[in-house]
Structure 1
């Protein structure tokens, strides 16, 4: 039994008597429980029998040889099961670790931009899901301008960010033809031909990459009837020697390749066509479409801006049996345009977009502010003598 420390005041313990007695009892109990015990008689007999069998090279009943030689079947199975479970547990831990990182990254991403979630689970009223879904084709005049978009800055990867055109169709897909029906004595197939020719004119004048990059709009001109000499003279003059009186951008969307270049291959388009009986024995078609062009400077920083062009064309596919016209060609009866974000006092045959970084150097506009995306109103040129401004691009 441990002896109680000296009562000498110099002793370092200084323990009270009751504490020391409890310590003594606990120590004796631990010593007794950990001391080696004498095996029982039965245990000594089993041990001796196993030693004799081992000396003779015998295996106890129920044991087997093989990879787990000398190990009872139940114990061998238990070890294999333990290894398998350990492997499964390790795989589960690795899987949950990977899933944990993925879930954490997703949580952070959604926290930064909740609009990535489908619908509006947080009731924020955000428009993320709406922006991702394309608009149905326009079949009638809108009743109001498009709603406000997120104030995002367009980039090379997302040139239509922050624009209502983000949900518009791409290029020719935005020019959806109405169902062709007979108009008076004009059969449906004749109406369909007129609609297709009108689409070809719109594509050649506003979507053809060559036209957009400033080349002669040959594809568009090939649709027009050459038996309109005054029209062709006017267009040719504008393309050769553009001026205020003869400016080709009134019909063709053209950019100066030395000044700007398109961003990507997508031009957004939205509008509609209608048709009725024509005045020259054929079918008259009205096309009202808006095109959105993202561009950057040809030799400057990658700053993206957009020019918006709305065009309204009245054309007719006349009856060649009654009038001196060219079969399969359109008569251009009237055309009008409204251009947003382009210098209005330059008449060199090209559109000249303004960039946010340089607008402070431009002269102050004197005309009214307009929304170039508003298709609910007719084109209004105001007094025609002043440059206005656009409320968004």
Structure 2
């Protein structure tokens, strides 16, 4: 602190140069000296204390002679400075609350920052990332998904299929290797024909919307007794005995339409020696179809279809077959979320906001996404439920 001037006491009441109205209170004088000395020390390179005393004495003399404006120590300049500081403190107090809240929110969900500079968390990234290709039957059903409601923007929300591949990308062929006397080229041909059958029966946009599945039919051998005749009968006059949905995924365009252009697909193929002198292909795939009603409402539901096929490419030198065509040895299916005992040639998805077109479920509950178990069927007289769609 700077020293007070030592040349005697300040003038008192009635003495020269002052009066009771112009006397300076001690505490204000001390504050002024402290501020002055601090400012001088910060700017003066030499003898700050001596200079402080000189400035202080000069200001005191000017004050005694009445040369300084009233309130120069405590007047508007100090008040304005203090006011600005107060406003600044208030502003930072408000901003502090906002910034604190923002910091907490970003810490809880960093993806809110533009561009998500921190990247998603490990669990969130794993949940959003696509699954690797399936090369063999899984050992368990997919884990539970967040119970989200599907929408037109996200028709697979709340479904394990959200991480599955889109359409044909989910049908990945295994490496073609020779099987016994069957060359790798013929094995590759059998794999490609099987994929063409799966795509034409379950992914072709026109066929899914109810048109005749010409691409799928063109892969099948017309020399296989009764096969194409039975399929044609089912497509032309569907019935319980000839039901085309046992092989083809078809929806009635007058009742439902696809919710977007994506059908999710997951499965695998295996190869082995066939019974007809060629190669046999076993295919096990699940397709997930999001749909909405055709009459306008945007409620999204999903139908899940699992198909298991056994096909062969026979040896044309030993059997009466058509080269480049498939023999369909066995085919089976499991359909989730479609009305039971409706045999009009179409799948009939059920919506949460409407009643079922078929009988009430009476059979066991199954998980349509569980690909770890072989297909099981009862006596055909029950109608089961699905645990999720």
Match of 2:256 in 1: 260
Cα pair 2:340 2:359 within 8 Å, conserved: no
Q: Look up the SS of the partner of 2:216 in the other structure.
A: helix
CA shift in 2, pair 1:30/1:141, >3 Å: farther
For 1:385 and 1:119, the matched residues in 2 are separated by 48
State which of 163, 169, 172 in structure 2 corresponds to 1:167.
163
For 2:356 and 2:223, the matched residues in 1 are separated by 47
CA shift in 2, pair 1:102/1:23, >3 Å: closer
Cα pair 1:4 1:20 within 8 Å, conserved: no
For 1:109 and 1:365, the matched residues in 2 are separated by 46
State which of 194, 214, 236 in structure 1 corresponds to 2:210.
214
Match of 1:339 in 2: 335
Shift of 1:3: 10
Q: Look up the SS of the partner of 1:249 in the other structure.
A: helix
Match of 2:121 in 1: 120
For 2:357 and 2:305, the matched residues in 1 are separated by 23
CA shift in 2, pair 1:391/1:114, >3 Å: farther
Between Structure 1 and Structure 2, how many residues are aligned?
313
CA shift in 2, pair 1:198/1:33, >3 Å: farther
Please tell me whether residue 382 in structure 1 is matched to residue 378 in structure 2: yes
Match of 1:239 in 2: 235
For 1:242 and 1:30, the matched residues in 2 are separated by 114
Cα pair 1:131 1:166 within 8 Å, conserved: no
For 1:361 and 1:19, the matched residues in 2 are separated by 99
Shift of 1:384: 1.8
Q: Look up the SS of the partner of 1:288 in the other structure.
A: strand
Cα pair 1:296 1:302 within 8 Å, conserved: yes
For 1:110 and 1:241, the matched residues in 2 are separated by 61
CA shift in 2, pair 1:287/1:110, >3 Å: farther
Match of 1:150 in 2: 146
Match of 1:59 in 2: none
For 2:24 and 2:179, the matched residues in 1 are separated by 114
Cα pair 2:341 2:358 within 8 Å, conserved: no
Q: Look up the SS of the partner of 1:358 in the other structure.
A: coil
Cα pair 2:111 2:120 within 8 Å, conserved: no
CA shift in 2, pair 1:103/1:309, >3 Å: farther
Shift of 1:229: 3.6
CA shift in 2, pair 1:3/1:212, >3 Å: same
Superposed CA offset, 1:83-108 (max 9, x none): xxxxxxxxxxxxxxxxxx99998975
Shift of 1:199: 0.2
Please tell me whether residue 289 in structure 1 is matched to residue 292 in structure 2: no
Superposed CA offset, 1:44-90 (max 9, x none): xxxxxxxxxxxxxxxxxxxxxxxxxxxxxxxxxxxxxxxxxxxxxxx
CA shift in 2, pair 1:192/1:105, >3 Å: farther
Shift of 1:359: 4.3
Task: Identify which range, 295-304 or 18-27, moves more after superposition.
Answer: 18-27
Cα pair 2:339 2:357 within 8 Å, conserved: no
Gaps of 5+ in 1: 6-16, 37-100, 122-126
CA shift in 2, pair 1:208/1:4, >3 Å: same
Q: Look up the SS of the partner of 1:306 in the other structure.
A: strand
For 1:349 and 1:129, the matched residues in 2 are separated by 41
For 2:198 and 2:274, the matched residues in 1 are separated by 20
Q: Look up the SS of the partner of 2:375 in the other structure.
A: coil
Shift of 1:29: 4.8
For 1:23 and 1:106, the matched residues in 2 are separated by 48
Please give the TM-score of this superposition, normalised by the length of structure 1. 0.73
For 2:371 and 2:135, the matched residues in 1 are separated by 12
**Matched ranges for 1:90-129 at <5 A:** 108=105, 111=108, 118=119, 120=121, 127-129=123-125
CA shift in 2, pair 1:386/1:328, >3 Å: same
Superposed CA offset, 1:188-207 (max 9, x none): 00000000000000000000
Superposed CA offset, 1:109-140 (max 9, x none): 7746879764537xxxxx42112111111111
For 1:206 and 1:141, the matched residues in 2 are separated by 20
Q: Look up the SS of the partner of 2:285 in the other structure.
A: strand
CA shift in 2, pair 1:28/1:108, >3 Å: same
Cα pair 2:12 2:20 within 8 Å, conserved: no
Match of 1:358 in 2: 354
Please tell me whether residue 301 in structure 1 is matched to residue 297 in structure 2: yes
